Amino acid sequence: MQSLSSGKASSLNGCQNHFGIVNLLASSFIPMKVTWLRLILSGVLCSFLASTAAFAQEDISDRSQQTVSKKSSQDKKRKKRKPGFFYGNAGTGFRWNKGKSEVRLAGFMQADTRTYFDDAADSGKDNFLLRRIQPSLEVKFNQTHSLYIMSSFASAPGILDVFWEGNFAKPLNIRAGKFKPAFGLERLQSATALAFNERAFPTNLAPNREIGGQIFGTILWDTTEYQVGLFSGMVDNSSGLRDSVIYSNYSGVDFVARLFSHPLKHSDVALVKGLGLGIAYSYGTQQGNAQRGESHLPVFISPGQQSIASYARGAFADGSRERIGPQLYYSYGPWGVLGEYTVSQQNVKLGAVTDKVTHDAFQAQLSWVLFNGDASFRRIRPHSPLTLENISSLGAVQLVGRYAVLNLDDKAFAHGLFDADHAVRKAQDFGIGINWYLNRNIKFQLDYNQTHFTGGAGGGANRAEEKVLFSRMQIAF
C-alpha cells in the first residue's frame, strides 16, 4: 500500500501509462464504463503466454502467520531439499550446503481497473493501472538465518521489506529490519490472497510497514502464535515509500504485541478446528508540528482509494497513540470468515488545545469456494489447477461478501480537528465479488463496493455514495 498522504494521487495517476499496448488495443473496442473487460482480455492473453513453470510467492514471508491457515497435504509431504537449481510454486533459485542454504527469486504483479458509477463530483477517475509490481529476493543460510528483500516498482518505487530473520526454535525467533508489524489481521494477509482488491477500513487505523524488530514464535502445542516488537511508529497505514529507497515518516517508538490462537486445533471435531481468535495491541508516541507535511497524522481513504477525511491544517500529533484490535479467522472446507475490529486513540493538538481522539473500524468478511478448493487465509490452491497437462480444469472459483464501517470521533469535529464540510463522520461499505484461481500463478478478481457516507459535504449534507467496480489480473512468478 502507498503512504496515505500520497496514496490518492499516486494510486490513480502514477501507473496509468503502464500496459500501454494492451490498454490501447482494448480501449479501441471496449467502452470506459466496462473497462474491467480490458483486464479479462489481458488475462486471456497472459494466461496462454505464461509458462506452467511459473512461480508463486506471497508478498511477505509468512512464517509468523502459519497457524492462521490450514496446511495442505502437499506441505505435509514436502520432500527433502536437494542441492542445485530449483523451481516451484514458491520461487526459483539455487540451493547448496546439502540443501540447507539457498537463494530464491520470486514476485508478483497485479493489474487493476477501477470504474466509478454515479460520481457527480467526479472525484474518482476510471482508470487502468499496475497496482503492484513486487519482486522479492530471499537468501537463507543453514536453515537458520535469512535475509529477505522485497521492492515495489508500481506508483511509489522503493523497498517495502528488508529484514534479517533468525529461526532458532518454534517458541523463539527474531526478525529485524523493515516489515509489517503484527497488528492488523487483513494487513498481515498477503496481497496475493486478498478477497477484495482493496483492504477494508480497519487498515486505516493500523500500521502498515515500519522499521523495527520483534520476537515471535508458536507456543502451547502449536496452537498459539505470538509476536512482540518495537517499531518506528510511522503514520497509520504508511508503507514507508516516498521518493526514496526507504522512507520512514515517524517521530516516536511503538510497542506492538499480538496473540493469535487456534484453541481447538487438535480437536477431533473438524467443524471447530479452523476457529482462530486473536488480539493485537500497540502503544507509542507521535510528535508532529503545525508545518505542512509534518503533522504525523493520517488521511482516511475509501475502498475506492479516495480521500474521505483528513485533519484540519495546523493540527498535529502530540503525544500518545494507542491501538487495540480483536480479530477472528475461521475456515471449514470451502467456507471462510474473517473479522476484525480496531480502535485507535491519539493525542492531537490544534492551537492551544490537545484532544485525545478515538476512531474505530470493523469488518466482517465471508467467502465460499464454489468448487475445486478450500477456504484459506493464504492464497487458495485449486485441487485440480489449470496447466498445459490439465487444460480442461476450471480452477477454483470463490464468492466473497464484506461489510465494513469506519467511525471518526464526534469530539474531533466539535473541536475543529476535522472540517465537517469535507471530512465524513462515518463510512459504511458493502462489497461483493468473485475470484477465479486458475492455479497458484494466475488469478482474476471482480468485485463491486458501494459506500455510504455520513457528512462530508457542505451544509451538513452527506457526501455522495461511492460505487466502484474493481477488476484484477494477478500473475505470481
- pLDDT single digits (tens) 219-245: 999 999 999 999 998 888 887 665 444
pTM across the whole model: 0.83
Q: What pLDDT band is residue 122 in, cutting at 50, 70 and 90?
A: low
Read off the pLDDT band of 87 (50, 70, 90): confident
Does position 419 have pLDDT exceeding 50, yes or no? yes
CB 476 within 8 A of CB 56: yes
Tell me, what CATH number does 111's domain have?
A: 2.40.160.10
Where does the pLDDT of residue 181 fall: very low under 50, low under 70, confident under 90, or very high at 90 and above?
Answer: very high
Closest CA to 5 of 355, 360, 249: 249
Work out the number of other CB atoms within 10 angstroms of the CB of residue 88.
13
Cα(396)–Cα(29) distance, integer angstroms: 29
Q: Is the pLDDT of residue 180 over 70?
A: yes
Residues 326, 340: Cα–Cα separation, whole Å: 6
Give residue 135's domain range: 4-476
Q: How far, in Å, CA of 88 to CA of 56, rounded?
A: 8
Q: Is 146's pLDDT higher than 80?
A: yes
> What's the confidence (pLDDT) of residue 67?
37
Q: Provide the pLDDT for residue 190.
A: 94
pLDDT tens, residue by residue, 334-369: 999 999 999 999 999 999 889 999 999 999 999 999
* Domains contained in the chain, number: 1
pLDDT at 238: 82
List the single range of 39-53, 121-135, 288-302 with lowest mean pLDDT.
Answer: 39-53
Range of lowest pLDDT (8-17, 163-172, 264-273, 294-303): 8-17
How confident is the model over 48-56, as a mean pLDDT? Answer: 32
pLDDT for position 237: 85
Judge whether residue 433 has pLDDT over 70.
yes
Cell of 120: 457527480
Q: Please say whether the dihedral angle defined by the alpha carbons of residues 285, 427, 127 and 179, taken in this order, is positive or negative.
A: positive
Which class for 343: exposed (0-12), middle (13-18), buried (19 or more C-beta within 10 A)?
A: middle
pLDDT of residue 409: 97
Residue 323: pLDDT band by 50, 70, 90 thresholds? very high
Q: Which residue has the higher pLDDT, 243 or 400?
A: 400
Residue 137's pLDDT is 97
Compute the average pLDDT of residues 113-120.
Answer: 86
pLDDT of residue 4: 34
> Among 238-242, 378-382, 403-407, 443-447, which stretch is predicted with the lowest mean pLDDT?
238-242
Question: Mean pLDDT across the chain, nearest whole number?
Answer: 84
User: Is the pLDDT reported for residue 58 higher than 80?
Assistant: no
Q: Region 198-203: what's the mean pLDDT?
A: 97
- The CA–CA distances, whole Å, from 87 to 62, 107, 222, 477 equal 19, 13, 29, 10
Q: Residue 439: pLDDT above 60?
A: yes
Residue 75 pLDDT exceeds 60? no
| pLDDT value of residue 246 | 53
* pLDDT at position 250: 59
Specify the pLDDT at position 35: 44
CB 339 within 8 A of CB 319: no
Alpha helices in 330-388 (DSSP H): none
Residue 284: the pLDDT is: 94
**Intra-chain end-to-end CA distance of the chain, in Å:** 20
